[in-house]
Structure 1
Amino acid sequence: MAWRELWPLLAIVAVVWGLSTWARQGLHEGQAQSLRERAKPGDIVMLSSRSCAYCSQAREWFEAERIPYAECFIESNAQCAQRFRETLAQGTPTFLVRGQVIVGLDRARMVALLEQAGAVQR
């Protein structure tokens, strides 16, 4: 197949990829704003591991977006390790959002839990 025949297909793939990336970025920005508005210190606790790359990515995102959260490391904090075992989670990061367990950085679920808790508190 010649490049001339592939060009339209490659252009479509590039446009779809670009739009998808743009939409995902906008979604994450909206979720970050919602979390900043709703999360109070102590609402979000990240149970993490020092060797976890996903934990590092989550930490960087929370800090860059100025979202209040607490972090504890399961290797060096016995209480944190116990909380992690109690969640029955298979890996880190595991988040406790007002006591509810979320495995992985699920921004939409965090927003939903904080919105539910906010509606109950009114």
Structure 2
Amino acid sequence: MKWPPISLFVVIALAWAGSTVWRERVAGQDGLMLAQRVRPGDIRMISSETCPYCLAARRWMTQEGIPFQECFIEREARCLADYQAQGSVGTPTLIVRGQRVIGFDRARLLEILK
């Protein structure tokens, strides 16, 4: 078996590193724009305790200083009722200025908050 040249591994590593840096930069820019536009009460996140996407959204919004309220469908009957009333099919479900966003979609949040 012949191994690929080392340059192939270098190209893959550089592409991965560049992609990672770019994603972090875009996430930071989105965070800055959202933090400037969001006011307390604008975002309510309906979460599940076992949802990895909820955890990622919570961490990102907290890190970026974006105010949001959160409730958990397993802990709070009102939260579960709101989740069901929204016709949601997954978590996180974000209510952004009265509009439902299923899943964590930074671009959609920015669109609503323009």
Whether TM exceeds 0.5 here: the answer is: yes
Aligned Cα root-mean-square deviation (Å) = 1.4
Partner of 2:51: 52
Unaligned runs of 5+ in 1: 116-122
Equivalent-residue separation in structure 2 for 1:6 and 1:64 (angstroms): 41
> What is the TM-score of this pair, normalised by structure 2?
0.90
Partner of 1:118: none
Equivalent-residue separation in structure 2 for 1:87 and 1:9 (angstroms): 49
Larger proportion of helix:
1
Partner of 1:94: 93
Equivalent-residue separation in structure 2 for 1:40 and 1:106 (angstroms): 18
Unaligned runs of 5+ in 2: none
Q: How many residues align?
A: 114
Partner of 1:39: 38
Amino acid at match of 1:100: Q
Q: Which runs of 4+ in 1 moved over 4 A?
A: none
Amino acid at match of 2:61: F
Identity across aligned pairs (percent)? 41
Structure 2 counterpart SS, 1:96? strand
Amino acid at match of 1:45: R
Equivalent-residue separation in structure 2 for 1:21 and 1:10 (angstroms): 16
Partner of 1:119: none
